[in-house]
Chain A
Amino acid sequence: KAGVTQTPRYLIKTRGQQVTLSCSPISGHRSVSWYQQTPGQGLQFLFEYFSETQRNKGNFPGRFSGRQFSNSRSEMNVSTLELGDSALYLCASSVGTGETQYFGPGTRLLVL
C-alpha cells in the first residue's frame, strides 16, 4: 500500500500571499489530520477531517482552513501568510477518528 503523500514538498511564499497544501491518505483511510511543526516544537494540531466533515479543530486563527473531498484527499489553505507561518506542515491519515495515525513526509513552507 502506498503511504501518505503530500504535495508540494517545499514551498516559498511571501507575506500576504495564500497557499494550498494537498494530502492524499493511505487507501481506505477516511480520517485526515493536519499538524504544524516549528523548529524545536512538538506538533500543533490544526484540524481533522472525516468523511468530508471537520471533526476537530485546534487553536489556530481562521486564516487556516481545510477541506476533504469524497475520495478522502484533503487540502489545507493558509491565507494572508505571515512570517510565523513558516513551518513543516504534516498530514496524517487513519482508518477512522481515534485510530493509529500514519504521517506523510510533510510540506516545508517558508514565508519571506
Chain B
Amino acid sequence: GQQLNQSPQSMFIQEGEDVSMNCTSSSIFNTWLWYKQEPGEGPVLLIALYKAGELTSNGRLTAQFGITRKDSFLNISASIPSDVGIYFCASMDSNYQLIWGAGTKLIIKP
C-alpha cells in the first residue's frame, strides 16, 4: 500500500538550534499535513499544504510542499523546550483517507 517515509526517526538537539525533517513518498499526493503529538495527547495540526511548491509558515515553523508532489519538509527555527514531541507528516489518498509517516521524535538535550 501507499507509504510515507519520514526521517529522521529521532533528533537530539540543543535549545536554540534549527530543526529539519522530511517526508517522502513514491506516490503523488495533493495534500501534505504536519501534526505534532505530545505525550498523552492526540496529534494537533500544525500546517496544511495544498499546492505543489507551496511554502507556509506558522510562527517558527515552516513547511513546504515539494514540487514533485512526492515530498514535504518541516523546519523549526530556534527550537525551545516546548517543541519536544513527535512530529508526523500525513497525506490524503484518493479516498480522502489519511496516510501517516512513522513520526520524528524531537528531544531537547539538557
Contact = CB atoms under 8 A, between A and B. Distances in A.
Interface in A76-97: 90-92, 97
Interface residues of B, number: 22
Contacts of B44: 103
Given A42-B88, A42-B103, A56 B42 contact: no
Contacts of A100: 45, 48
A30 B92 CA distance: 18
Contacts of B1: 59
A56 B43 CA distance: 20
Tell me if A's interface is mostly helix, strand, loop or mixed. Answer: loop
B88 A102 contact: no
A90 B42 contact: yes
A66 interface: no
- Please tell me the size bucket of the interface on A: 20 to 34
Contacts of B40: 105-106
Contacts of B98: 33, 43, 45, 101
B95 to A, nearest CB: 6
A94 B55 CA distance: 24
A61 interface: no
A55 B88 CA distance: 24
Contacts of A48: 97
Given A41-B102, A42-B100, 5 more contacts: A42-B6, A56-B97, A91-B42, A98-B92, A105-B41
Interface of B: 1, 4, 6, 40-45, 48, 88, 90, 92, 95-103
29 contacts: A33-B98, A40-B102, A41-B102, A42-B4, A42-B6, A42-B100, A42-B101, A43-B43, A43-B88, A43-B100, A45-B97, A45-B98, A48-B97, A56-B95, A56-B96, A56-B97, A58-B97, A59-B1, A91-B42, A97-B96, A100-B45, A101-B98, A102-B45, A103-B42, A104-B42, A105-B40, A105-B41, A106-B40, A106-B42
